[in-house]
Amino acid sequence: MRIAVFTGASSGMGREFVRRITGEEKFDEVWLIARRRERLEEIAAGVSAKTRILPLDLSDRAAIESYRQMLAKENPEIAVLVNAAGFGLFGTFEKMDLDAQLGIIELNDKALVGMTYASLPYMKAGSRIYQLGSLSSFQPVPYINVYGASKAFVLSFSRALNCELKHDGRGIRVMAVCPGWVKTEFFDHAVHDDTIKYYNRFYTPEQVVERALKDMKRGRDVSVCGVSVRSQVRLTKLLPHKTVMSIWCRQQKK
């Protein structure tokens, strides 16, 4: 059984990955993972392949174990894994709830690692893993502190794992998808005040996923959508991080 697995499938980037990938490829089953069953059912209605709805909270490690048990029972071939589950919070570190900030790490990092680890034994040559990072992956970001750090982990982990898999000859690809601002429900959860004031440009999920699919075919291990965002990434590599943070803080009127 050849399957595709999508986390964070109920909205935003995850939803767009489902739409594009299932619209272009044939699968025996598509596994949709997110917390909200009703939203997953809406997504499933638009997928031509047979779907398996898995309303799991991946910040709970028991959910990863449940996923592992399903894999062991079904023994599928995972052709595509998209790890798009995640969230962030904008604000001053000391003023935000600690449990919520630890939850960012649980979902953005620990769940992503757990899903990847559980899935790899069921992947073959040509299988692909898309890991959702961020422009924040490339620089420290005051006032988006823990979220930015969590996405830096995603970038480092994904690139290193792609290198490991390349050297073991299995033909499995891993790519970090690192967009700038994308207009999704992410902001409904992340924004609680006016701590972040400056947003230079928004992209759409369609633009980001389109670029990601092309970059995967090109053999890249990182996908960055937009000329302006790629220019910013280059600057973060050339300038000291102290300078980059200073520019960011001035933009946010700090």
The interaxial angle of helices 98-105 and 145-167, nearest 10 deg, is 20
Of the residues 117, 130, 147, 199, which is catalytic? 147
| Per-position DSSP letters for 13-64, written without gaps between them | HHHHHHHHHHHHS--SEEEEEES-HHHHHHHHTT-SSEEEEEE--TTSHHHH
**139 vs 151: CA distance, rounded Å:** 10
From 141, 139, 152, 146, select the one nearest 94 (Cα to Cα). 146
- Return the structure tokens found at 157: 């982990």
Active site residue 143: no
Q: Annotated catalytic sites, by residue?
A: 147
